[in-house]
Amino acid sequence: MAKLIDYPCKHNEYKGLPIDKFIEAGIEIPASYNIADKLVEMARLEDFHYFPIDPVLEAENLGALIKMDQSPLGPRKDSDIITDITMLKDLPKLNPAKGRYAETLKAVCMLNEEGHNAYFEIRGPFTVLSGLGDIMTVLMGWRKHPEVLEAFFQNLIEGLCDCAMAAREAGAGIIYYSDGPGSLQVLGPKYARKVVESFTVPFLKELDSRLDSESVVYLCPKTAFQLVGCDAAQWKKLDLGETMTYRDACNAAKGKVRFLGQRCFKNDGIEVCSINYLELK
C-alpha cells in the first residue's frame, strides 16, 4: 500500500553564489544576471552546467518584485505583490521569450553549443507563489476560493510546459523539476495530495505529451516521493548494462524512460549499473 513520506533533502541549505569570485573575474553584479553571455561566463568560472541560478525566475516573469544586488543570495523576492488569493486571477501566462527568462535560456543554448550538456530547471507552483506572496495566505485562501487556485494551476501548467519546450529547443536534454516549498513537510498530507491531484499529475502528463522521446524529466525526489505516496506513480528499474556515474546514468536513460527522480540530481558522486524511474499511473 502506498505511503506518503517526505524525501530527506541534503541540499536544502543554500550556500549562495560566489559573488567575490565573479567580481574578481570582471563580471559586473547584479547587471550580469540579465545578460546571457555573462551568465555563461559565471557557468564557466564555477564549472556548473545548469540554469537558472536562482528560484525566482518564473515569479519574476509573472511580475514579481525581485531584489538584485551584490548579495551571495542572488536574485530574490523583494516584497509581496499577491496579498489576497483572488489577485492570482490577474497574473499573465509565463512567457519564456521575454526578459531574464529569455536570456537564461540563451545561456543554456550557448553552453550546449560548446558541448557542455547543460540542463534547465523549472519550478513548481509553490516556489512560484513564494516569489509572489506568502504561502500561508494562499493556503488559507484555497479553502474559500478553490476555483482561483485551480485556474492558477492550469495557467501555470500551460506556461511551464512552454518553458520546458523552450529549454528543449535550447538543447537541454534533461528538464529538472523542483518545488521545495510544495513539500510534504510544508503543506502537510491533505494539501500535498491535493497538489498531486490538481497540479503535478496533469502537468507531467501534459509535459509528457509535448516533449520528444529523447527528453528526460528529472523530478526532485520530494515530488517523486509524493507521486508514489499518493499512488499516482510507481517505481521501475532500467538496467544500464555497465557501471557509470549517476549523472551519466541519467543521460544514458534518455530515449528509454521519461521520468527520473529517486535521488537528488545534485548528488552525482555515486556509480550505478541500473537506475530507477517513475511510471505514471
pLDDT digits (tens, 9 = 90+) for 10-57: 655 567 899 999 999 999 999 999 999 999 999 999 888 889 999 999
pLDDT digits (tens, 9 = 90+) for 132-164: 999 999 989 998 999 999 999 999 999 999 999
Residues 6+ away with beta carbon under 8 Å from 147: none
Low-confidence winner among 83-87, 110-114, 260-264 (lowest mean pLDDT): 260-264
Checking if the pLDDT of 1 tops 60, the result is no
Please give the average per-residue pLDDT across 84-95, as a whole number.
96
Checking if the pLDDT of 81 tops 90, the result is yes
> Which residue do the cell numbers 559586473 mark?
28
For the entire predicted model, the pTM comes to 0.95
pLDDT digits (tens, 9 = 90+) for 209-225: 999 999 999 999 999 99
- Give the distance, in angstroms, between the CA of residue 265 and the centroid of all CA atoms in the same chain: 12
Q: What is the CA radius of gyration of the chain?
A: 18
Residues 6+ away with beta carbon under 8 Å from 201: 227, 232, 280
- pLDDT at position 265, please? 79
Which grid cell is 11? 541540499
Alpha-carbon distance 97 to 182, whole Å? 26
Please give the average per-residue pLDDT across 92-103, as a whole number.
98
Give the largest CA-CA distance in the chain: 56
Strands (E), 133-270: 174-178, 216-219, 233-245, 259-260
